[in-house]
């Protein structure tokens, strides 16, 4: 079976499971003061991992809630079984499933599924990005002051001075508006399909961005670090735009010196 088809099927099934249990979360654990994990994170992850291991037993797996499975294969799956856990735990219906395929150290395919809207974002390297089978493109908004942006805050926002509040304040008076929906993978996909013109966030993990960053790139957008340097899914800081407002956003992000 095609690897992409297996990943899409796993994302759809996991999303269906999450949708079915929304509002009936059950056990919630705390990894940090504001960093949650629910029993549904683990059940969705188990479903995805079981499907991938059944079809591709030699592949590596990196997922949010379990220890990494390291193999000799050049293929590795990068999984966020529930991006937007805090939303989900509160019954707020903005969350998604994210699965990426990394081959020879480079993401070659990504799928992000939002079950509440039944929206399936997919991207294959050099083959474009799609929403429910229809090709998508980034917006054509040319200026920051006419742009709708998205962002999020790191889990150590209460304890670290490097917490994005300064950037949020700087953008709030320069952009048309900012949204903070609570699921980075969806924010990135929304840049890809033109709903958002730009997105920035710090201290993200590979499973937050691996699939969705490919969606943005394949939709004609730009993804870099905060200094317009090369993007890495392991880098933490992510700046994603339609390309037209990228330099303006870099300028705002570098207005002040970041603090440790």
CATH at 108: 3.30.540.10
The whole-number pLDDT of residue 158 equals 82
The whole-number pLDDT of residue 197 equals 98
Asked if the structure places residue 40 within a domain, the reply is yes
Asked if the structure places residue 94 within a domain, the reply is yes
Rg of the chain over all Cα atoms, to the nearest angstrom: 17
The whole-number pLDDT of residue 34 equals 47
The whole-number pLDDT of residue 154 equals 77
The whole-number pLDDT of residue 163 equals 82
14 plus 124 within the same structural domain: yes
Asked if the structure places residue 259 within a domain, the reply is no
172 plus 227 within the same structural domain: yes
150 plus 171 within the same structural domain: yes
129 plus 150 within the same structural domain: no
DSSP 8-class letter at 11: H
Q: What share of the chain is helix, strand, coil (3-state, %, to 5)?
A: 30, 25, 40
In the chain, the number of structural domains is 2
The whole-number pLDDT of residue 107 equals 98
Residue 120 host element (H or E): strand 119-124
The whole-number pLDDT of residue 31 equals 57
Asked if the structure places residue 258 within a domain, the reply is no
131 plus 9 within the same structural domain: yes
Identify the sign of the CA torsion 63, 223, 185, 177: positive
Domain, as residue range, for 82: 3-135
Note the Cα 70 to chain centre separation in Å: 23
pLDDT in tens, the chain (260 residues): 699 999 999 999 999 999 999 987 766 666 555 455 678 889 999 999 999 999 999 999 999 888 889 899 999 999 999 999 999 989 999 999 999 999 999 999 999 999 999 999 999 999 999 999 999 999 999 999 999 999 998 776 687 778 889 999 999 999 999 999 999 999 999 999 999 999 999 999 999 999 999 999 999 999 999 999 999 999 999 999 999 999 999 999 998 655 44
The whole-number pLDDT of residue 219 equals 98
pTM, to two decimals: 0.92
Q: How far apart are CA 73 and CA 56, in angstroms?
A: 10
């Amino acid at each position: 079976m095609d690897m992409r088809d297996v990943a899409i099927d796993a994302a759809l099934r996991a999303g269906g499971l999450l949708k079915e249990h929304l509002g009936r979360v059950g056990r919630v654990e705390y990894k940090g003061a504001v960093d949650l994990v629910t029993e549904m994170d683990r059940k969705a992850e188990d479903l995805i991992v079981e499907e991938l291991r059944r079809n591709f037993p030699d592949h590596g797996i990196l997922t949010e809630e379990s220890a990494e499975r390291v193999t000799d294969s050049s293929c590795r799956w990068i999984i966020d079984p529930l991006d937007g856990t805090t939303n989900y735990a509160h019954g707020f219906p903005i969350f998604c499933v994210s699965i990426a395929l990394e081959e020879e150290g480079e993401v070659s395919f990504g799928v992000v599924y939002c079950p509440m809207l039944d929206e399936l974002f997919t991207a294959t390297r050099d083959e474009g990005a799609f929403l429910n089978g229809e090709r998508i493109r980034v917006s054509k908004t040319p200026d920051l002051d006419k742009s709708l942006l998205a962002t999020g805050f790191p889990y150590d926002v209460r304890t670290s001075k490097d917490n994005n509040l300064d950037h949020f304040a700087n953008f709030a008076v320069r952009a048309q508006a900012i949204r903070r929906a609570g699921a980075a993978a969806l924010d990135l996909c929304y840049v890809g399909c033109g709903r958002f013109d730009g997105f920035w966030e710090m201290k993200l993990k590979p499973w937050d961005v691996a699939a969705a960053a490919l969606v943005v790139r394949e939709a004609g957008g730009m993804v870099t670090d905060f200094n317009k340097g090369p993007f890495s899914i392991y880098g933490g800081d992510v700046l994603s735009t339609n390309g037209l407002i990228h330099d303006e956003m870099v300028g705002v992000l570098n207005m002040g010196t970041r603090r440790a």
